[in-house]
Chain A
Amino acid sequence: MARITLENLAHSYSPHPKGDQDFALKRLNHVWQDGGAYALLGASGCGKTTLLNIISGLLRPSQGRILFGERDVTDAPTTERNIAQVFQFPVVYDTMTVRENLAFPLRNRGKEPAYIAERVDRIARMIGMEEMLTRRARGLTADAKQKISLGRGMVREDVNAILFDEPLTVIDPQMKWELRTQLRQLHREFGHTMIYVTHDQTEALTFAQQVVVMHEGRVVQMGTPAELFETPAHSFVGYFIGSPGMNFIDARIDGDRAILPGGQVVELGARYAANGRTQIGIRPEYAHLSETGLPVTIRRIEDVGRHRIVRAELAGAAFNITMPEDAPMPADPHVHLMPGKLGIYADDWRVAPEAGGNA
Chain B
Amino acid sequence: MQKIQNNKAWFVVLPVLVLVAFSAVIPLMTVVNYAFNDTFGNNEFFWAGLEWFDEMIHSDRLHGALGRQALFSAIILAIEIPLGIFVALNMPKRGFWASVVLVLMALPLLIPFNVVGTIWQIFARMDIGLLGHTLAALGIDYNYTNDPIDAWATVVVMDVWHWTSLVALLCYAGLQSIPEAYYQAARIDQASRWAAFRYIELPKMKGVLLIAVLLRFMDSFMIYTEPFVVTGGGPGNSTTFLSIDLVKMAVGQFDLGPAAAFSLMYFLVILLVSWVFYTVMTAEDEEGQP
A→B interface (CB under 8 Å): 53, 56, 58, 77-79, 83-85, 87-89, 91, 93-96, 104-105, 108-109, 136, 138-140, 149, 152-153
Chain A residue at minimum C-beta to C-beta distance from B284 = A95
Tell me the residues in window 238-290 of chain B with beta carbons closer than 8 Å to chain A beta carbons.
Answer: 284, 287-290
Most buried by A among B182, B189, B203: B189
Knowing A89-B179, A91-B181, the reply to whether A105 touches B189 (Cβ < 8 A) is yes
Q: Which residues on A sit within 8 Å (CB–CB) of B187?
A: 58, 77-79
Contact of B199 among A53, A78, A93 (CB under 8 A): A93
**Chain B residues, Cβ within 8 Å of A78:** 184, 187-188
Q: How far is the CA of A108 from the CA of B191 in the complex (A)?
A: 6
User: B195 near A: Cβ within 8 Å?
Assistant: yes
In contact, B184 and A94 (Cβ under 8 angstroms): no
Is the interface on chain B under 10, 10 to 19, 20 to 34, or 35 or more residues?
A: 20 to 34
Task: Give the shortest distance, in Å, between A340 (CB) and chain B (any CB).
Answer: 46
* Chain B residue with the shortest CB-CB distance to A140: B290
Q: Is A95 touching B184 in the complex (CB atoms < 8 A)?
A: no
Rounded to whole angstroms, the CA-CA distance of A149 and B188 in the bound complex is: 11
Count of A-B contacts with CB under 8 A? 61
User: Which among A79, A85, A139, A140 is the interface contact of B185 at CB below 8 angstroms?
Assistant: A85
- Interface readout for B145-182 with A: 1 if CB under 8 Å, 0 if not? 00000000000000000000000000000000001011
* Residue pair A139, B290 in contact (C-beta under 8 Å): yes
Contact A149 B185, CB 8 Å, known A93-B199, A96-B199: yes
A108 near B181: Cβ-Cβ < 8 Å: no
By the criterion CB–CB under 8 Å, are A79 and B190 in contact? yes
Assembled-state Cα–Cα distance A138/B289 (Å): 7
Give Cα A149 to B181, complex, Å.
Answer: 12
Q: CA A142 – CA B100 in complex, angstroms?
A: 38
- Interchain residue pairs A-B with the least CB separation, the first 3: A87-B181, A91-B185, A105-B189
Is B185 touching A95 in the complex (CB atoms < 8 A)? no
A49 CB to nearest chain B CB (Å): 11
B contacts, CB < 8 Å to A: 179, 181-182, 184-185, 187-192, 195, 199-200, 203-204, 284, 287-290
Q: A87-B181, A89-B181, A136-B287 are in contact. Are A108 and B189 (CB under 8 A)?
A: yes
List 30 A–B pairs whose Cβ atoms lie within 8 Å, in order of A's numbering.
A58-B187, A77-B187, A78-B184, A78-B187, A78-B188, A83-B188, A85-B185, A85-B188, A87-B185, A88-B181, A91-B182, A91-B185, A93-B199, A93-B200, A94-B204, A95-B203, A96-B199, A104-B191, A104-B199, A105-B188, A105-B189, A108-B189, A108-B191, A108-B192, A136-B287, A138-B288, A139-B288, A139-B289, A139-B290, A149-B185
Closest chain A residue to B204, Cβ basis? A94
Chain B residue contacts of A85, Cβ below 8 A = 184-185, 188
Q: What is the CA–CA distance of A139 and B184 in the complex, to the nearest angstrom?
A: 22
Give CA–CA (A274, B203) in the complex, Å: 61
CB-defined contacts of A149 to chain B, threshold 8 Å:
185
Quick one: which of A53, A84, A104 has the most chain B CB within 10 A? A104
Cα of A143 to Cα of B288 in the assembled complex, Å: 17
Q: Knowing that A94-B203, A95-B199 are A-B contacts, what are 12 other residue pairs whose CB atoms are under 8 Å apart, sorted by A's residue number?
A: A56-B188, A58-B187, A77-B187, A78-B184, A78-B187, A93-B200, A94-B204, A104-B199, A105-B189, A108-B189, A109-B190, A139-B289
Are A105 and B184 in touch, CB under 8 angstroms? Answer: no
Q: Are A136 and B181 in contact (CB under 8 A)?
A: no
